[in-house]
Each structure stands twice: as C-alpha cells, then as structure tokens.
Amino acid sequence: MATDERADILQGTLDLMVLKTLDAMGPLHGYGIAKRIEQLSGDALQINQGTIYLCLVRLVQRKWIAAAWGTSDNNRRAKFYEITKTGRKQLVAEAAHWERIAGVIGRLLQLDTRR
C-alpha cells in the first residue's frame, strides 16, 4: 500500500537525517532533533514529533548513536543522543549511497529531456 511504501522511505531517510543532524550539531535531545528535521525538510514531512523516538531506538540498538540522560540549556532533564564512530561510518556510507542514486536518477531524467 502507498502509505507503507512511504513509511519505509521515510524510515530510511529519517535515519540519514538524524545521523546527519547529530553529526553536524553535536549531541541533541529528541525534541531538538525533531525540530531541526522539521526545519530542514521544510514541513514536507508531515510526521508526528513522537515518531522520531521509534527511529532513535533503532539507531541506539544498532549502536550508531548513544543515549544518555543530561540537562538541557533550560535546566530541564532530557535524554541526549550523540553519534558514535560506527554511526559516522554509516553516515558516510549512507550519504554516498544516496548520492549515487541521485546521480543515476538525475542522469535518467536528463535522458528524457534531451529528446
């Protein structure tokens, strides 16, 4: 079904986005990550903020990110996530993979217009 497919793509890209966010911005709590992704995607991804945690729990289990309780800048207790070395490696691989796909599709689309 269409929503399932979209959910899968979502999951894949969400992983990438979370890793990139953590890589670029350093340790963040769940709210921070969700807000950042919202900003990045420009509200194109209409997901509930809570679903970020489903993604986060998988990333923690794969040891691509690590979680620890800490205090936010507003002196609030929150769980912070940090990218790990393996996570960084995964990010590089994933980014390369997407770029390759984008390149191929780009060339494919260009093929059509050349006609």
Partner 1 sequence: MWTALRLFSARVAASFRHAELDTDFDAEMASHRAMLEEELRRTGRTPEEARRQARLEFGPETQLREAHRDRRGLPWLDTLAQDLRYAIRLLRRDLGFAVFAILIVGIGVGASATIYSVVSALLLRPLPFSEPERLTWIANGGTVSDGLSGQTVPVGHYQALRERSRSFADIGAYMAFYGAGDHTLTGSGEPERITTVPVSPNFFAVLGVAMRRGRGFTVEESRWKGPPAIVLTDRLWHRRFNADPAIVGRKILIDGDPVPVVGVLPASFDFGTILAPGTTIDAFTAFPLSPESDKWGNTLAMIGRLKTGVSLEQARAETGVLAPQIKKRDPDRAFDLQLTPLAEHVSGRLRPALAVLASAVAVVMLIVCANLSNLFLARAASRQREMAIRVALGAGRRRLIRQMLTESLLLAGAGSVLGLLLAVAGTRVVSHVTAFNLPLLDRVRLDGPALLVILATAFVTGVVFGLAPAVQVPDVAVGGALTESSRGTTSTRHVWLRASLVVSEIAFACVLLIGAGLLTRSLLRVLDTNLGFRPDHTAALRLTPAAGYTGQAGENRYFGEALRLVRAIPGVEAVGLTDALPLGRNRSWNPGAKGRAYSRENPPPDSFVRVISDGYLETMHIPLLQGRDFTEHDTDGSKKVVIINQSMARALWPGENPIGKTAIYLDPEREVVGVVGDVRHLSLEEASGLEFYLPSRQTTDHFPMDLVMRTALAPEVLASEVRRALAPLDPSLATNEFRTLQSVVDRASSPRRFVVLLLASFAGFALLLASLGIYAVISYSVSQRQRELGIRMALGASAGEVRRQILGETFRLAGLGLVVGLPVAWALSRSMSSLLYGIDATDPLTFAGMIATLTAVAAVAGYLPALRASRTNPLVALRAD
**What is the binding site for partner 1 (CB under 8 A)?**
29-31, 34-35, 48-51, 53-54, 57-58, 61-63, 72, 74, 76-79
| CB nearer partner 1, residue 17 or residue 34 | 34
Residue 46: helix, strand or coil by DSSP?
coil
| CB nearer partner 1, residue 23 or residue 38 | 38
Give the shortest CB-36-to-partner 1 separation in angstroms. 13
Give the shortest CB-16-to-partner 1 separation in angstroms. 17
Query: In a 10 Å sphere around its CB, with 0-12 CB exposed, 13-18 middle and 19+ buried, how is residue 34 labelled?
Result: buried
What single string gives the DSSP state of each residue in 21-34? HHHHH-SEEHHHHH
| CB nearer partner 1, residue 17 or residue 80 | 80
The per-residue b/e assignment along 9-33, b for 16 or more CB within 10 angstroms, e otherwise, is ebeeebbebbbbbbbeeeebbbebb
Give the shortest CB-76-to-partner 1 separation in angstroms. 6
| CB nearer partner 1, residue 70 or residue 103 | 70
